[in-house]
Amino acid sequence: MRSLNRSGFLFSVTAFFLLPLLLTNCTPKNKKIEESSTGKPSIEINGISVHTMKGNIYTTAHKTDLKLTKTGTVSFGDTEQPLETEIDIYVNPNKQFQSLVGIGAALTDAAAETFYKLSKDNQEKFLEAYFDKDKGIGYSLGRTIIHSCDFSSGSYTYVDEGDAELKTFNIAHDRKYRLPFTKKAIAATGGKLTMYASPWSPPAFMKTNNNMLQGGKLKPEFYQSWANYYVKFIEAYEAEGIPIWGLTIQNEPMAVQRWESCIYTAEEERDFLKNHLGPTLEKAGMSNKNVIVWDHNRDLLFQRASIILDDPDAAKYVWGTGFHWYEDWKDGIPMFDHVQRVHEAYPDKNLIFTEGCNEGYDIDQIDEPRLAERYGRSMINDFNNGTVAWTDWNILLDETGGPNHVGNLCFAPVHGNTKTGELMFTNSYYYIGHFSKFIRPGAKRISSVSSSNSLLSTAFINEDGSIAIITMNQSDKTLQYSITIAENKADIDLPAHGIQTILLSE
């Protein structure tokens, strides 16, 4: 088996950890447009003119040593009307949209098992790299699994087979790896990790195929028992000191998989929610738990949301709709517009990206730009279309792309070599970090529009008043572009296949 300690693949995060982050104490209120000394418009944020704001530029680029590296500073001067031959990102902080809940990843069995095979020093490095907002990339969101999924070493449940009354319910299995791993992650954030949970399948005896794998459906006679199972899980995890903020009803409810899976039509998921799960959570005093429907790909996102959210008896229990990115298996084209359509139709409900990873693990492909750019492209488009939270899949996997009990091996942003104890930080880790480190929970998205298809962008204003503008260069050449805010202009270069965060403050 190949070692992961390879030139170009093992990136030291030491220099990155020492980067200064210059933030201000101003607040994002009292924004207005006034004139600069030249008579041109200049947006003010709490009395500070954008014309006088300064910014740091952080860059990651393929085939370079730039990994969330501070590559310069930026300041604004006056500008004229941008030309069609120029690339311009126009940002309007006065146009504000959804608030960010968080950015993070799934803390699976596979991640937890791999974590405990690392050296103690690398365990600490891993926790700091992901969860420390100053020295790392500041994850604030976590997804956990309700008993097993494919990224477990085997199938298991929390009850004995046939126990519909759940008298044997016990999470003892999770105490070996996943519970202590999750507690360490929460501690690394200072106790501020928003956690939600997802099931992949009910126990076999509750299903039409009598198997946790290969699809099947939940038998109607076990609807209430399965609803009670969620409550038992939440109670058990919270007794362990792990608050559960929310839950999805079913991971990928339209996919018959060779691993844990269960099928619900839109009508079946709607009726299970409104007749069983919703009332059961309410009766248990858990009406504050945020219920997420769908939890599958963008292609059927609108259909599923419509069926459930058009029913007021079901919709009253729904916090939002979750989605994945795997619909591009059809033609290689992500259906970002479906996210926008749901946001337009149901603006009072939230959208959350619940899972995405690069499939088909192959160490020889680890530095391919397409892997990291898939993250950047998705995050920019999903946020621009109204998404309030974004969750990567496995936060950590081993040197094989597992463990996975059915051989469904995948990439993760960080891989741990369980033979050497070493960590490999891939470009995907740094790409995600351009968002999670600089866009903090509570930030509001602001208008950001690019004049070129080669350069994608999104922008947020944080609660402390700092503005984070993320740009991604999808082309094979360095791009010269400008950022314009109310006719105040800054000129910047972005290397080929690179991503930048421009953090503006007083």
State the amino acid at position 192 in one-letter form: K
Looking at 44, 113, 327, 355, which residue is catalytic? Answer: 355
| Dist. CA 171–CA 50, nearest whole Å | 53
Which residues have a Cβ under 8 Å from the Cβ of 55 and sit 6 or more positions away?
Answer: 73, 74, 75, 490, 502, 503, 504, 505
Alpha helix ranges (H) inside 385-506: 427-436
Tally Cβ neighbours within 10 Å of residue 490: 24
Known catalytic membership, residue 487: no
Residue 191 CA to residue 199 CA, distance in Å, equals: 24
In angstroms, rounded to a whole number, what is the distance separating the alpha carbons of residues 64 and 61?
6
Q: Which pair of tokens denotes residue 80?
A: 């004229």
What CA dihedral angle connects 226, 227, 232 and 237, to 10 degrees? Answer: 100
Instruction: Outline where 240-317 has alpha helix (H).
Output: 266-272, 278-283, 301-309, 312-315
| Catalytic residue status for 35 | no
3-state DSSP helix/strand/coil percent for the chain, to nearest 5?
A: 30, 30, 45
CA dist., res. 157 & res. 164, Å (int): 12
Is the C-alpha dihedral spanning 486, 489, 495, 500 positive or negative?
negative
CA distance 58 to 69: 5
What is the CB neighbour count within 10 angstroms for residue 124?
13
142 within 8 A of 199, measured Cβ to Cβ: no
Inter-residue contact 102 to 432 (CB < 8 Å): no
Give, in degrees to the nearest 5, the angle at Cα 416 between 410 and 418.
105
From 420, 361, 409, 427, select the one nearest 3 (Cα to Cα). 420
- State how beta strands 246-248 and 290-297 pair: parallel
Catalytic residue among 44, 252, 327, 373: 252
- Catalytic residue positions? 252, 355
